[in-house]
Amino acid sequence: MENEDLANRLAGSGVVLRIHYTDPDAVVTVDMPKKVIETGADSGVTPNVELFMSADTGNRFWLGKVNLTMAMAKGTVRAKGPVTKLIKLIPQAKNLFPEYRAILEADKRHDLLDV
């Protein structure tokens, strides 16, 4: 993780998060205690929390346009594992929203910004 301050705060959570995106398919595993991010379904890390959502929902979340708790309640996002641990981390995740937007802007991905 590049944001060292945020990585240090997340490390104590004990959460190993795997996000399964569909349409297109992608898998991201975030081992918060070890401060490692892996992509691909063949990650050797065992998650203790998993999220399942469309890539569009994931994009909108990282842009700050999806309330994750409400999305889980509505079934737009499915979760597996101790979700309460994850919900406690949402305020920290919001620190990444501007960084995500900046990456999309730098890559001229206006198609992903205008959702």
Return per-residue pLDDT of the chain as tens, 115 residues. 457 888 888 898 999 999 999 999 999 999 999 999 999 988 889 999 999 999 999 999 999 999 999 999 999 999 999 989 888 888 888 989 999 999 999 999 999 998 8
Joined together, the tokens standing for residue 46 give 């065992």
Q: Which helix (H) or strand (E) holds 27?
A: strand 26-31
Predicted structure pTM score: 0.90
Q: In what order do the strands lie in the sheet with 78-80?
A: 36-39, 26-31, 16-22, 49-54, 78-80
CATH number of the domain to which 79 belongs: 3.30.1050.10
Q: Which residue range is the domain that position 57 belongs to? A: 4-109
* Domain-embedded: residue 115: no
What total of structural domains would you count in the chain? Answer: 1
